Amino acid sequence: MKIARFSTGGDPRYGIVDDDDLVVLTGDPMFSGFDTTGERVPLADVKLLAPVIPRSKVICVGLNYAEHKADMGDVGPSNPLIFLKPNTAVVGPGDTIVIPPVDGRIVHEGELVIVIGKIGKQIKAANYADYVFGYTIGNDVSARDVMFADGQWARAKGYDTFAPIGPWIETELDAQNVRIETFVDGEPRRTGTTADMIHRIPEIIEFCSDVWTLLPGDIIMTGTPAGLGGFTDGQTVDITIEGIGTLSNPARNRS
């Protein structure tokens, strides 16, 4: 089931994707269930929004694919390398990635995103699925040269608009072996499959929940496959994940 968050000009609403329509829900299904209003809205008539706005945190897993880790100098711990983005970095499908005036490359990192559905602390890997509401697509945008200049990642990965997610949440995805592809202006840049993750989803949830209490609406970006990552003003980044769809965002320089 694909759950979208959308607007037709007023307050955000939620709907189930049904071919070219949205079946409108009475409220946020994470808290209100899947009761419908009886209304159907054509997808062509809505503005799709970020499918969830994390109330607490955006968790990211770095260097979680062997080839990407090698490209980065094979640094990092043996356990999952986790860090945070502010929720102000989150934007939705079609929204603009705003490139700040910093030196060096701005790179895309197309990733499978876990959407947490209920409160969890010290979750056992065997029980991970009980806490997953679904999955979406994310772009862990990074100012790569700023990462190295600062010696840590908070600024380089935390700028406003540096966490596009969408286009919706898939609640029934078998995420253990799905293909992730990233394109810039239609040119293939990164490709891989979640089967190649160093740390798999159950382990990631167990590890993260030992550090932080996971709250409904928190998201976890699970890492990017290897590939060429740069994009510039005027280009569009498309990320496709098998079973979910495509997240597309244009980029422009900050004026």
Is 243:180 a contact under the CB 8 Å cutoff? Answer: no
* Cβ atoms within 10 Å of 129's Cβ, excluding its own: 11
Which residues does 180 contact at the CB level (< 8 Å), separation at least 6? 110, 111, 112, 190, 191, 192, 193, 194, 224, 225, 239, 240, 241, 242
Residue pLDDT, tens place only, 122-155: 999 999 999 999 999 999 999 999 999 999 999 9
**Of 204, 155, 153, the residue nearest 175 (C-alpha):** 204
Extents of the domains making up the chain: 2-48, 58-253
The structure tokens 């499918």 sit at 51
Cα 135 to chain centroid distance, Å, stands at 8
CATH homologous superfamily of domain 58-253? Fumarylacetoacetase-like, C-terminal domain (3.90.850.10)
Is 68:141 a contact under the CB 8 Å cutoff? Answer: no
Supply the CATH classification number for the domain 2-48. Answer: 2.30.30
Residue pLDDT, tens place only, 185-230: 999 999 999 999 999 999 999 999 999 999 999 999 999 998 888 9
